[in-house]
Amino acid sequence: MKPRIIALYLPQYHPIPENDEWWGKGFTEWNNVVKAKPLFKGHSQPHLPADLGFYDLRVPEVRQQQADLAREAGIEGFCYYHYWFGNGKQLLERPFQEVLESGKPDFPFCLCWANHDWTNKTWKRGSSLKRDSMLMRMTYSAEDAVRHFHALLPAFKDERYIKVDGKPLFAVWAPRSIPACKQFVDTWQQLAIDNGFPGIHFVGQTDNTGKGLQGEKKNYYSADRAGSYYQSVLDLGFDAVMSSGFRRAVGLYQGRLSLMWHMLRVRTAFSTATRMDYQRFMRNYYVPEDAWENVYPTLLPQWDRTPRAGEKAEVLIQATPQRFKETILDAMNHIKDKTPQHQILFLKAWNEWGEGDYVEPDQTFGHGWLDAIRDAVNNK
């Protein structure tokens, strides 16, 4: 089998007026990356780019190079994070808009609505002892749902747009955060039909564990509740789930008491980065429910959020391309019996350098992360 690997893509590599105001003139994700420092013995920071350098996504040649690298590795397309806050307000939309309007690169794409507020801690470290300061709040309304759909209709109609079962794939990062979510989904489905599509293939992102679902007793990261978490998204009208095992793996790695202690500790001034071995961590990332036909697991190549969060971050140590290849093979085993259209894996991520979560060439492993994908999907 050859899985449909779709890479989540962060567009925050060009300055915008809002970031200039909030974080300083010329701020992009690279500002966090280059300031990162080692926090413990053996900690590899900063992570620095290789082939593409400290790129600016306003440059068409950069976007073409990214697509070429992704295609060569066996990635089907990019899933651009889409920041729509309501009433037509967007942020970081320029790279995707230029891809759409120019027709280049000729590489498949879809969108993931990153429907979360932006606060003073969204992109840079902030003290947990201080209340978040709201910078841009998400707003929802029935009228805005219609406006939102029509704003994206040109993208849905583009021949490059990724489809599942003939429907444009649209992912939502926080599906449970949408008030009257079922109504929102139904509205878009009807609008899609009215515009000649069989519908929208809605994919809702969720962890496979957590503190507890709304209306249920708190279960504090119980490891055996994946089915309930997935079903809670499907019950909102979503066609499929983008699953993450990160919180489950943290809980089983640390133990639930240690996890609660860690959560308390990060709210103090005395926290230190939490270190976990990548290979051991990933043993608990996937669950049997990831084999459901309508569940699309995520691929996590590495993780080090210290550029954004400093000592309050979690770090996966000993992450290497070879170990990442083993992760891909494990994930592929979970989806091997699904129909080809649904053999989807979301790569988290293509270029989240501020979270140490990327596969673009770097100065430590070169093309190693991309080679791991290529070798895994080609059974090498």
Chain length of the chain: 380
- For residues 177 and 115, the answer to whether their CB atoms sit within 8 Å is yes
Could you read off the pLDDT of 72-87 as tens digits, one per residue? 999 999 999 999 999 9
- For residues 351 and 49, the answer to whether their CB atoms sit within 8 Å is no
Q: Which amino acid is at 307?
A: P
Could you read off the pLDDT of 298-332 as tens digits, one per residue? 999 999 999 998 888 899 999 999 999 999 999 99
- DSSP state at residue 82: E
Q: Which residue do the tokens 């309508």 mark?
A: 294
- For residues 5 and 297, the answer to whether their CB atoms sit within 8 Å is no
CA distances (Å), origin 345, targets 139, 242, 334, 335: 30, 8, 10, 8
Q: Is 185 exposed, middle or buried (0-12, 13-18, 19+ CB in 10 A)?
A: buried
Comparing C-alpha atoms, which of 273, 284, 340 is closest to residue 307?
273
pLDDT at 51 over 90: yes
Domains and CATH numbers, the chain: 4-377 (3.20.20.80)
User: What confidence category does residue 264 fall into, taking pLDDT thresholds of 50, 70 and 90?
Assistant: low
pTM to 2 decimals? 0.94
CA angle 254, 256, 262 (to 5 degrees): 65
CA dihedral 348, 350, 351, 357 (to 10 degrees): 40
